[in-house]
A = this chain, B = another copy of it.
């Protein structure tokens, strides 16, 4: 019974807040776990059908009674227990693939501006994300600090913040290093260590 990860996200989202349509579920995903998880419609709608067929979710407020043709779903007891089973299983960390780091690693093969441009894009992306996250935090607190899941949501939020900050600090240093190297074409007479190392015995 190999279920796709999409199925579990849907179950999780419906466990937090029942009676959502596919469209709404996607929006909720974007607004809650958006910065570390994404789902497309092409994945959500078929998953909803499958989950409903397996009785892990059930259609509520059908299209006939509600406005338009939207179909809302809620999680069933069976769905909840499947979600809990999945939660208890150790997470699998798939081998990461970071194209940014890959291009940077091969940076010497390109003109220096290329890598600088990549890092600047990276830096800006991270700045924006951090800004969004910091804005989001007080809102989340005001809006849902009373909900049972709140401490866990904050945990993921802090995780994001910590990594965003780490990325930004690293970006500064990286840019400083690359732009410095650009200027000094020939190394000065006494520069034994090109990059300072911490924790070097």
Chain A residues with CB under 8 Å of chain B are 5, 8-9, 12, 15-16, 32-33, 35-38, 80, 83-84, 86-88, 90-111, 114-115, 117-118, 121-122, 125, 134, 137-138, 141, 145, 148-156, 158-159, 162-163, 165-167, 169-170, 173-174, 177-178, 181, 194-195, 197, 199-201
Query: Which residue of the partner chain, among B32, B35, B92, B195, contacts A154 with CB atoms under 8 Å?
Result: B195
Check B87–A110 contact: CB distance below 8 A: yes
Check B118–A12 contact: CB distance below 8 A: no
Cα distance A162–B169 in the bound complex, in angstroms: 9
Given known contacts A37-B98, A101-B37, A118-B91, is B15 in contact with A106 (CB within 8 Å)?
Answer: yes
Q: A105-B153, A138-B200, A151-B181 are in contact. List 19 more A-B contacts (CB 8 A).
A: A8-B102, A12-B106, A15-B106, A15-B109, A36-B96, A84-B109, A101-B156, A104-B152, A104-B156, A106-B152, A107-B152, A108-B149, A151-B177, A151-B178, A151-B194, A154-B195, A155-B177, A158-B170, A159-B174
